[in-house]
Amino acid sequence: MTTSSTPAEARAGAILTIDLDAVAANYRLLSERVAPAECAAVLKADAYGLGMVQVAPALSAAGARTFFVAHLEEGITLRALLPEATIGILNGLMPGCAADYAQHRLAPVLNHAGAIAEWTAFCRQQQKRLPAFVHIDTGMNRLGLGPAEVAALIADPSPLGDLELLGYLSHLATADEVDSPLPGVQRDRFRSALDRLPPARASLANSSGIFRGAQFHFDLARPGCALYGINPTPETGNPMARTVRLDARVLQVRHIDSTGTVGYGATHPVSPGTRIATIAVGYADGYLRSLSGAGSVWFGEQEAPVIGRVSMDLITVDITRLPDGAVHPGTLAEVIGPHRTPDQVASEAGTIGYEILTSLGRRYARRHVGGPQ
Ligand SMILES: *Cc1c(COP(=O)(O)O)cnc(C)c1O
């Protein structure tokens, strides 16, 4: 850490720094990549853990006009931040809540025939064509109209006349696997449905889908993870800017003087001469327990491996190879940063960068830098 810390940062066990200019730069890169298609921004799960309250205005200032969140409640929060934006709710229409979407001008993504029926009934009752997206499932078998529902809608598209159709969307299952044939199959299924449905805008690509080529861009792209610095092209280098840095504080340095073990489960043997730093981050902060004996942190250019189990509030790292006195109570260790991206931490933890970001702890002192003035 170079800049001086606030009292909250001095008290905190760890400091999370979020670079809003990097998020905005990532948006602009994706936006140029999909032009002339529009680039939306996916802000679900508190902007993948980075903080929707700060990230949404930064993306809006960078030119984003269309946003997606998962939950109705997330949409209500976002509407207060961005009065003019188009906001789609990916989890769809919660039964009995149509009036809430209308009140906050939120567009449900209609995921099944029952949701289309409920939304159009509400539109007729209000005597207004209210905005919605329609989700066509082309291979996820998760959300969206299945083949029989699509066929029924093609046979009788009249319900779509009762609502304001903002577009059709579909979602790719394997966009991040460069050799997978499924994205092409899904794109062809999507096209074939679009050809037979009333015309409207179309949206298929998530972050990785954007990098599969222009045939995946349609009218509107929906990146999430790439905005936040996750590599959308795992087969090659990461074109996105880093957006987060996590520095955690050393609480104690221990010089081992007799043979023993470290931590819960006594999983890691230690011998005299070992030096251990105990650091204030644990699984309750999103430092996943699967990083036990697998992760590492950095002091400047020097790596210190996690030894023993990750506990709720603490990790223990081996600093034997660092110069004596280099680390002391109060020293900050880089947990996420230039030496360890969220993707690298994820691979050590046996998961994906998305889970690392969306698990970022609530106990961190959060510092958002950059962004619109
Ligand atoms: C989460 C999500 C996205 C964004 O996906 P990324 O892989 O994070 O870019 C796009 N569309 C839908 C339907 C999603 O659920």
Q: pLDDT digits over 246-281, tens only?
A: 999 999 999 999 999 999 999 999 999 999 999 999
Ligand 1 atom showing the smallest separation from residue 109 Cα: 13
| Catalytic-role residue among 27, 101, 264, 287 | 264
CA dihedral of residues 166, 20, 54, 367 (deg, nearest 10)? 160
Ligand 1 atom showing the smallest separation from residue 207 Cα: 9
Task: Return the residue whose CA atom lies nearest to atom 6 of ligand 1.
Answer: 224
Instruction: Please state whether the predicted TM-score (pTM) of the whole model is above 0.85.
Output: yes
**For the chain, which ranges sit under pLDDT 50?**
1-2
| Residue 5: predicted pLDDT | 83
**How far does the centroid of ligand 1 lie from the alpha carbon of residue 363, in Å?**
27
| Residue 3: predicted pLDDT | 56
Probe residue for ligand 1, chosen from 27, 31, 33, 42 as the CB with the greatest number of ligand atoms within 8 Å: 42
Residue 354 is a catalytic residue: no
**How far does the centroid of ligand 1 lie from the alpha carbon of residue 49, in Å?**
14
Residue 264 is a catalytic residue: yes
**How far does the centroid of ligand 1 lie from the alpha carbon of residue 208, in Å?**
9
Task: Return the residue whose CA atom lies nearest to atom 1 of ligand 1.
Answer: 224
**How far does the centroid of ligand 1 lie from the alpha carbon of residue 182, in Å?**
17
| Residue 63: predicted pLDDT | 98
Ligand 1 atom showing the smallest separation from residue 354 Cα: 8
Task: Return the residue whose CA atom lies nearest to atom 15 of ligand 1.
Answer: 90
Ligand 1 atom showing the smallest separation from residue 223 Cα: 9
Place of tokens 């670079």: 19
CA dist., res. 294 & res. 317, Å (int): 11
| Catalytic-role residue among 27, 44, 287, 354 | 44
| Residue 287: predicted pLDDT | 98
Instruction: Give, to the nearest 10 degrees, the angle between helix 113-126 and helix 147-155.
Output: 40
**How far does the centroid of ligand 1 lie from the alpha carbon of residue 206, in Å?**
5
Protein residues whose CB sits closer than 6 Å to any atom of ligand 1: 42, 44, 90, 171, 206-207, 222-226
**How far does the centroid of ligand 1 lie from the alpha carbon of residue 313, in Å?**
31
Ligand 1 atom showing the smallest separation from residue 206 Cα: 9
